[in-house]
């Protein structure tokens, strides 16, 4: 046992991350043609994401005093997605077209921080949305007391949470580093190969910024699905106003479920590759393969505005029932 431990420790001491193995860690490891294709792909994703999320924020600003708590959360999600598109994507697009990372270590750390900050903010926002849906659908009596000021308190917690975990690497317990393919930057997952402290850092990030929020989301929507089977009979005993409100809450829940599913589908492959890079055999993930989950994760910010339109909601995943009632009343008059 002691021999195995010593071998493991020696392997950690001898491990050198990919960005220290060569003199230029920011040179692209892909072909120039692959970089150009990735650059065009990110350009299209960035434009669609900026226009879509910008539209959601613009429309919500026109009636900001009437936003429901669920809509406020959805606007915050659009802000996070827009931040990823505006702050992060230009760096990677320029670097892909240039066939190398163009912004040095300072730009690498800024890009890594911004990507993780807005990505974490998106996931924690969706976690809060799932809890809101859970209370509104599964506990009607508790859901009625959730007001606008509760949503703003929740937003403050979300931004503090994302800021804390994105800034922790700068405190000396972690770092941001270039991706193996050279033209993008991310959390330094490879620290787990170097020391026990690196493993603790990576495991903490995985638990608090991925596994725990995902578990809450899955729990909330599983409970909602189970509740929906019996909700029709329960709601039938209430008056028409409550029934209409319940129908609207179910529409919001469907949108929230699609948003969470799209986000997790986009990010889980990247998370799997990152975990394998951190705890698997060093350099066992082919460079050409590692770029695909990264590009898929970067497309997550584009999905949400499309989902809003597919569900045919007015904006930010909600068409208020009050407006419908007012329009029908005017027609009858």
pLDDT score recorded for residue 238 = 56
Extents of the domains making up the chain: 32-312
pLDDT score recorded for residue 242 = 58
The answer to whether residues 53 and 118 touch, using CB atoms and an 8 Å cutoff, is no
* Per-residue pLDDT at 318 exceeds 50: no
Q: Is the CATH number 3.40.50.300 carried by domain 32-312?
A: no
pLDDT score recorded for residue 246 = 61
**Residues facing residue 185 across a β-bridge:** 178
pLDDT score recorded for residue 4 = 41
pLDDT score recorded for residue 331 = 41
47/8: higher pLDDT: 47
Q: Is 237 exposed, middle or buried (0-12, 13-18, 19+ CB in 10 A)?
A: exposed
> pLDDT tens, 264-278?
888 899 999 988 888
Q: What angle do CA 232, 234, 238 make, to 5 degrees?
A: 105
- Containing 95, the helix (H) or strand (E) segment is helix 89-98
328/68: higher pLDDT: 68
Q: Would you call 18 helix, strand, or coil by DSSP?
A: helix
If we measure between CA atoms, which residue out of 46, 49, 50 comes closest to residue 38? Answer: 46
Give the span between the Cα atoms of 242 and 308, in whole angstroms: 24
The answer to whether residues 129 and 73 touch, using CB atoms and an 8 Å cutoff, is yes
If we measure between CA atoms, which residue out of 194, 117, 199, 197 comes closest to residue 159? Answer: 117
pLDDT score recorded for residue 247 = 66
Phi, psi of 178 (to 5 degrees): -65, 150
Instruction: Write the CB contacts of 75 (distance below 8 Å, at least 6 apart in sequence).
Output: 56, 57, 60, 67, 316
233/27: higher pLDDT: 27
pLDDT score recorded for residue 23 = 72
pLDDT score recorded for residue 129 = 87
Give the span between the Cα atoms of 102 and 192, in whole angstroms: 27
pLDDT score recorded for residue 150 = 86
Instruction: Write the CB contacts of 49 (distance below 8 Å, at least 6 apart in sequence).
Output: 81, 82, 84, 85, 89, 301, 302, 305
pLDDT score recorded for residue 137 = 79
Over range 233-255, report the average pLDDT.
63
Q: Could you list the beta-strand ranges (E) of 42-198.
A: 176-178, 185-187
Over range 43-57, report the average pLDDT.
92
**Mean pLDDT for all residues in the chain:** 81
Give the span between the Cα atoms of 126 and 199, in whole angstroms: 27
If we measure between CA atoms, which residue out of 318, 244, 305 comes closest to residue 68? Answer: 318
Over range 2-8, report the average pLDDT.
44
Task: Return the top range by mean pLDDT from 96-110, 146-160, 218-232.
Answer: 96-110
97/173: higher pLDDT: 97
* Per-residue pLDDT at 64 exceeds 60: yes
The answer to whether residues 34 and 281 touch, using CB atoms and an 8 Å cutoff, is no
Q: How much of the chain, in percent, has pLDDT values that exceed 70?
A: 79
Poorest-pLDDT segment among 87-101, 110-124, 252-266, 287-301: 252-266
* Per-residue pLDDT at 143 exceeds 70: no
* Per-residue pLDDT at 184 exceeds 70: yes
153/242: higher pLDDT: 153
| Residue found under tokens 């994760």 | 297
The two tokens of residue 29 are: 């490891």
pLDDT score recorded for residue 177 = 92
Q: How much of the chain, in percent, has pLDDT values that exceed 90?
A: 40
């Amino acid at each position: 046992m002691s021999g195995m431990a010593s071998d493991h420790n020696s392997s950690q001491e001898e491990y050198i991350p990919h960005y220290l193995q060569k003199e230029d860690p920011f040179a692209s490891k892909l072909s120039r043609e692959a970089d150009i294709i990735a650059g065009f792909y990110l350009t299209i994703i960035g434009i669609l994401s900026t226009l879509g999320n910008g539209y959601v924020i613009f429309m919500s600003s026109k009636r900001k005093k009437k936003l429901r708590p669920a809509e406020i959360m959805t606007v915050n999600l659009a802000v996070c997605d827009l931040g990823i598109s505006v702050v992060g994507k230009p760096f990677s697009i320029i670097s892909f077209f240039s066939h190398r990372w163009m912004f040095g270590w300072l730009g690498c750390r800024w890009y890594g921080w911004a990507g993780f900050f807005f990505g974490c903010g998106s996931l924690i926002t969706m976690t809060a949305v799932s809890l809101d849906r859970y209370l509104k659908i599964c506990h009607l009596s508790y859901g009625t007391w959730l007001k606008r000021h509760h949503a703003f308190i929740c937003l403050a917690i979300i931004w503090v949470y994302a800021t804390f975990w994105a800034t922790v690497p700068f405190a000396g317990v972690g770092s941001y580093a270039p991706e193996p393919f050279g033209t993008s930057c991310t959390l330094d997952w490879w620290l787990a190969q170097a020391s026990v402290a690196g493993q603790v850092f990576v495991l903490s990030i995985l638990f608090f910024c991925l596994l725990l929020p995902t578990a809450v989301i899955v729990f909330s929507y599983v409970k909602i699905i189970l509740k929906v089977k019996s909700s029709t009979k329960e709601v039938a005993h209430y008056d028409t106003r409550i029934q209409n409100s319940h129908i609207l809450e179910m529409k919001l829940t469907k949108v929230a479920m699609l948003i969470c599913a799209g986000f997790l589908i986009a990010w889980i492959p990247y998370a799997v590759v990152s975990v394998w890079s951190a705890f698997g055999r060093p350099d066992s993930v082919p460079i050409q393969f590692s770029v695909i989950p990264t590009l898929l994760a970067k497309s997550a910010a584009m999905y949400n505005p499309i989902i809003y339109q597919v569900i045919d909601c007015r904006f930010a995943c909600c068409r208020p029932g009050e407006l419908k009632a007012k329009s029908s009343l005017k027609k009858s008059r």
